[in-house]
């Protein structure tokens, strides 16, 4: 089974469409080619190493609460 996770962009290398993203206090490289409008401090949904969607901060709170409760 595959799941998507939420992370916060901490830096971006635009020439490579690659972002450093904080996921549960761990920084990972994430390809953001599918979301070129993403910027530092945005929260994104990540699946299989790819950023697939920017999400608003209110939704982040809901999702993270669900992960804490049921994860």
Number of structural domains (the chain) is 1
**How many percent of the chain have pLDDT more than 70?**
97
CATH, residue 21: 2.30.30.140
- State how far the Cα of 50 lies from the Cα of 58, in Å rounded to an integer: 22
What one-character DSSP code corresponds to residue 1? Answer: -
pLDDT the model gives residue 2: 75
Q: Are 18 and 32 in contact (CB under 8 A)?
A: yes
The answer to whether the CB of 66 falls within 8 A of the CB of 52 is: no
Q: Which domain holds residue 20?
A: 5-70
Q: Is the pLDDT of residue 71 over 70?
A: no
pLDDT digits (tens, 9 = 90+) for 46-66: 999 999 999 999 999 998 888
Cα distances from 37 to residues 4, 14, 33, 53, in angstroms, run 20, 11, 9, 10
pLDDT at 44 (0 to 100): 97
């Amino acid at each position: 089974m595959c799941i998507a996770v939420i992370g916060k962009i901490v830096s971006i290398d635009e020439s490579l469409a690659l972002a450093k993203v904080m996921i549960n206090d761990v920084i990972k490289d994430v390809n953001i080619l599918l979301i070129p409008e993403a910027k530092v401090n945005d929260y994104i949904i990540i699946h299989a190493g790819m950023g697939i969607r920017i999400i608003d901060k209110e939704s982040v709170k809901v999702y993270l609460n669900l992960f804490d409760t049921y994860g």
